[in-house]
Amino acid sequence: MIVKTFDSKKYTNKIEKHAFQKDLINWYDAEKRDLPWRADQDPYKIWVSEIMLQQTKVDTVIPYFQNFITSFPTLNDLAEAEEEKVLKAWEGLGYYSRARNLQAAVREVVEVYESKVPDQPDLLGELKGVGPYTKGAILSIAYEKPEPAVDGNVMRVFSRILAMDDDIANQQTRKKIESCVTDLISHEDPSAFNQGLMELGATVCTPKKPTCLLCPVQEHCQAFEQGIQESLPVKSKAKKQKSLEYFALVFKDENEKYILEKRPETGLLANMWQFIMIDKSEVQKKQLPLYVREKYGWSIKGIKELSPVKHVFSHITWHLTVLEVELEGEIKTEAQASLMKKEKIKELPLPVSHQKIFNQIT
DNA sequence: GAATCGTGGGA
DNA sequence: TTCCCAAGATT
């Protein structure tokens, strides 16, 4: 059997390890930003912050983190909370499965590990939503264990430090860089080492126009030495996204009540609430009254067209034609749909696209 | 391995 | 406008 091996030493041997560690950690200790999740080493709070920070900027996360910890101060509080309250606290942050996975994992920690976040890599990595990066982040930051925590920042920083031209869009590259970090990580302060790499990537070793003149590890950087820092890391481009068109129907009855439905528990915007959507390819606007009568059994008194909503996701763009539809008679809603007043809607977790619709309701 | 899964901000 | 980007994980 042939096993492909990656010789990380081929890269990391070029680095003066202890000087690199010292320069990075001293810089981090002096320059690190004062962020709310750096107030203490509570594994639960570190965990929450790391999940929120996935693919999300620090400035965006700060208020969500503050509110989340106020609402769910401890692991047990989160375990006992209603899922809908958790989703509401996550509303607007995106990637909502993060919130559901976090709560599921926290419940497992309560039941299986007596409410103590595991400090063993294998056990921690089995929890829902805890992948290679988050596992390493919790272990190093909360438990001072010398484990790699390789995110986009670290891949960029290491691509430059080591002058690696591997495509960072390739999954395999993360594993290679994990090996390199394992070679170089400080065993005296793995937390400052890992966070220092990320802090450096976020503030100095930026994707475009890195400020190498301010870099604490400039003298250790192979890319800077070769003058190729602007062309690293190599990253292949994502393909173009699809476009989908829907009617978004704001059904309203005689008592100023609106009809919303809960989305399926898997897939896009799982378990979030929304106004009823109909794929435009299924029905034309003229046919709507007939369609609504056949599918829902409701009679339409009048239709008013509101402003269209365009919403861009990572891989899809929604074009929503928004229609406020007055219904007559008594309304019976199906299992997953509910009739409710505006005040009630405000308590439900809505994706941003449907907040845009809600904000148009008079 | 490639797709899926959100959102807001900046160049 | 359009594109890229941000402390990734899951399927």
Beta bridge partners of A274: A261
How far, in Å, is the CA of A169 from the C1' of nucleotide B8?
22
Tell me the nt nearest to A155, Cα to C1'.
C7
Q: What letter represents residue A253's amino acid?
A: D
**DSSP secondary structure, A231-272, as one string:** G-SB-PPPPPPEEEEEEEEEEE-TTS-EEEEEPPSSSTTTT-
User: What residue type is assigned to position A344 of the chain?
Assistant: K
What pLDDT is attached to residue A271? 97
**Domains of chain A, first to last:** 8-226 (1.10.340.30), 242-359 (3.90.79.10)
Confirm if A250 and A325 have CB atoms less than 8 A apart: yes
Read off the pLDDT of each residue in A338-353 and give the average, rounded to a whole number: 96
Q: Which residue type occupies A152?
A: G
Give the Cβ contact number of residue A350 at 10 Å.
22
Distances in Å between the Cα of A350 and the Cα atoms of A76, A155, A308, A341, A345 are 25, 34, 17, 15, 8
- pLDDT the model gives residue A337: 80
Are A184 and A12 in contact by the 8 Å Cβ rule? The answer is yes
Q: How far apart are CA A237 and CA A147, in angstroms?
A: 30
The first and second tokens of residue A276, run together, are 């009823």
The model's pLDDT over A245-277, given as tens digits with 9 standing for 90+, comes to: 999 999 999 899 999 999 999 999 999 999 999
Nucleotides of B under 7 A from a protein CB: 1-9, 11
> Strand A242-252 and strand A316-328: pairing?
parallel
pLDDT tens, residue by residue, A4-25: 688 999 999 999 999 999 999 9
Residue nearest to nucleotide B8 (CA to C1'): A60
| Segment A36-64 mean pLDDT | 97
Question: B3 C1' – A235 CA distance, angstroms?
Answer: 17
Task: Report residue A344's pLDDT band, with 50, 70 and 90 as the boundaries.
Answer: very high
**A90: Cβ contacts below 8 Å, ≥ 6 apart:** A64, A68, A96, A98, A99, A349
Contact A86, A72 (CB under 8 A): yes
Q: Look up A50 and say whether it is catalytic.
A: yes
Rounded to whole angstroms, what are the CA distances from A310 to A130, A303, A306, A316, A360? 32, 20, 13, 11, 14
Distance A356 CA to C2 C1' (A): 22
Q: Is the pTM of this model over 0.75?
A: yes
- Catalytic residue, chosen from A16, A50, A219, A245, is A50
Query: Closest CA to C8 C1' — which residue?
Result: A54
pLDDT at A28: 97
